Amino acid sequence: MRKRGIVRAAPALVTLALLSLQASPALARPSEFKVLLHFLNPDGREETVSAGNFRFVYYDRRFIHHPRGIGHKGDLEIRDLPREVRSLQDEDLRRLKFAKLREVRFEYRPENGKEHLRMIATWKSRRRKPVDWPGDFLRNANTARLPHFRANVSGKEKDIPVPPYVRPAPPAEPILVQIDFVSAQRRR
């Protein structure tokens, strides 16, 4: 009889323990990253926009085979499933966590007669060397939909594209050139 009472109370105790962990401010993680986005407009002006809840979005490509029966060819469906993360990731699955970054710059450098995109990430720790990745080496950039950033800008959820991998002759729309991560210490 006593064991049944404990077994019945166990789920309630587990739920209560999980709720108390979520309510504890010491254990709570920051729910969003605040950033300053720097854009280069087609007319040459630079514009800075403040954004919150900043994420990197890449896509996992899934191939789904729908069989139609014996002797018939099945249909192949291709889906790109979005994955939102709070880090930059490359094709080798290396991650640069937003919490450890100070800024990310996008630059174009000449390669084989064209100017190709490079991403330079600077750490908060001054001891660590900056990371320099080719722009098209971001996670699944060559196998699925293009990765992009997502943030809350002026109360609206907005997708921010990664700059083109090859510099366009005259840019038609603003191009992201730098991301500054605003730490909690700077906001105070």
Full DSSP string of 142-182: TTSSPPEEEEEETTEEEEEEPPPSB--SS-SS-EEEEEEEE
pLDDT of the residue at 187: 42
If you search the block for the tokens 């050139």, which residue do you land on? 177
The CA R_g of the chain, rounded to the nearest whole Å, is: 23
What is the tens place of the pLDDT at every residue in 109-123? 988 888 888 999 999
- Output the six-digit token pair for 56: 């990197």
Confidence of residue 8 (pLDDT cuts 50, 70, 90): low
Percent of the chain exceeding pLDDT 90 equals: 28
Question: Rounded to the nearest 5°, which phi and psi values hold at 23?
Answer: -80, -15
Q: Which has the minimum average pLDDT: 18-22, 84-88, 138-142?
A: 18-22
Whether 107 and 120 have beta carbons less than 8 Å apart is answered as yes
Q: Say how many CA atoms lie within 13 Å of 95 toward its Cβ.
A: 9
pLDDT of the residue at 7: 52
Distance CA 94, CA 155 (A): 31
Continuous segment of H or E residues that includes residue 39 = strand 34-40
pLDDT of the residue at 121: 93
Residue 23 pLDDT exceeds 80: no
In the DSSP assignment, the letter for residue 45 is -
| pTM summary value | 0.70
Q: Which has the minimum average pLDDT: 14-23, 28-37, 96-105, 128-137?
A: 14-23
Whole-angstrom distance between the N-terminal and C-terminal Cα of the chain? 57
Cβ neighbours, 10 Å, residue 149: 21
Residue 9 pLDDT exceeds 70: no
